[in-house]
Chain A
Amino acid sequence: MTQTLALFLDAYRLLNARKIFWITLVLSLLVVSSFALVGIHDDGISIAWWNLDLPEINTGSAGFTKAWFYKTMFTSLGINIWLTWVATILGLVTTASIFPEFVTAGSIDIILSKPIGRFRLFLTKYITGLLFVILQVSVFTGASFLVIGLRGGVWEPGLFIAIPLVVLFFSYLFSVCAVLGVITRSTIASLLLTILFWFMLFIVQSAEQSLMVFDMMVQQRVTAYEDAVERTRQRLETVEDPDDMERWGFLHETLEKREASLANAQGSSGNLKAWHNGLLGVMTVLPKTGETIQLIERWTIDLAELPEMSGETSRPMISEDDHFTPDEEKLGKDIQDAVRNRSPWWILGTSLLFEMVILCIGAWRFQRRDF
Chain B
Amino acid sequence: MQPCVAFGSLCNSMSSNGYVIDVHDVHKTYKKRIKALQGVDLQVGSGEIFGLLGPNGAGKSTLVKILMTVVRPDKIGGTFLGASVGQKEPLSKVGYLPEHHHFPGYLTGLQVIEFSGAMCGLSKRERRANAGKLLDRVGMTKWGSSRLNSYSKGMLQRVGLAQALVNDPKVVLLDEPTDGVDPVGRREIRDLLLELRDEGHSIFLNSHLLSELEMVCDRVAIMVQGRVSMQGTIDELTKDSKRYEIQVLGPCPAWIESHPGASVESVEAEARISIATDDPEAIQPIIDRLRNEGRSITRVHAVRESLEDLFMRAVVDESGNIAAPGAQIESRRGSGGDAP
Contact = CB atoms under 8 A, between A and B. Distances in A.
B88 A110 contact: no
Given A10-B115, A105-B100, A115 B91 contact: yes
A311 interface: no
A109 B88 contact: no
SS class, residues of chain A in contact with chain B? helix
Contacts of A371: 65, 70-71
B119 A106 contact: no
Nearest to A369: B72
A117 B71 CA distance: 14
Given A2-B121, A6-B119, A114-B91, A107 B69 contact: no
Contact of A113 (B30, B72, B96): B96
Contacts of A111: 119
A14 B118 CA distance: 17
Contacts of A370: 30, 65, 70-72
Contacts of A110: 96, 98, 101, 103, 116, 163
Contacts of B98: 106, 109-110, 113
A101 B102 CA distance: 10
Contacts of B104: 10, 13-14, 101, 107
Interface string B88-129: 111110101011111110110001000110111111000000
Contacts of B91: 113-115
Interface residues of B, number: 33
A193 to B, nearest CB: 24
A112 B70 contact: yes
Interface string A88-111: 000000000000010011111111
Interface string A198-225: 0000000000000000000000000000
B119 A109 contact: no
Given A3-B118, A370-B30, A113 B89 contact: no
Contacts of A116: 88, 119
A323 interface: no
Query: Which range contains the number of A residues in contact with the other chain?
Result: 20 to 34
B327 to A, nearest CB: 14
A17 interface: yes
B193 interface: no
A5 B117 CA distance: 12
A115 B117 CA distance: 11
Interface in B187-235: none
Nearest to B73: A370
Contact of A109 (B94, B101, B163): B101
Given A6-B119, A114-B119, A114-B120, A109 B72 contact: no
Contacts of B37: none
B42 interface: no
B70 A107 contact: no
A111 B99 CA distance: 14
A6 B106 contact: no
Interface string B128-170: 0000000000000000000000000000000000010000000
B106 to A, nearest CB: 3
Contact of B68 (A16, A106, A113, A368): A113
A14 B119 contact: no
Interface in A1-53: 2-3, 5-6, 9-10, 13-14, 16-17
Given A6-B119, A106-B98, A111-B119, A368 B72 contact: yes
Contacts of A16: 106
Contacts of A114: 91-92, 116, 119-120
A105 B175 CA distance: 13
Interface of B: 30, 65, 68-72, 88-92, 94, 96, 98-104, 106-107, 111, 115-116, 118-123, 163
Given A13-B111, A114-B92, 15 more contacts: A2-B118, A3-B119, A10-B104, A13-B104, A109-B65, A110-B96, A110-B163, A113-B91, A114-B116, A114-B120, A116-B88, A117-B88, A368-B72, A370-B30, A371-B71
26 contacts: A3-B119, A5-B118, A9-B118, A10-B107, A13-B106, A13-B107, A14-B104, A14-B106, A104-B102, A105-B102, A106-B99, A106-B100, A106-B102, A109-B101, A110-B96, A110-B98, A112-B70, A113-B96, A114-B91, A114-B120, A115-B88, A115-B89, A115-B92, A115-B120, A370-B30, A371-B65
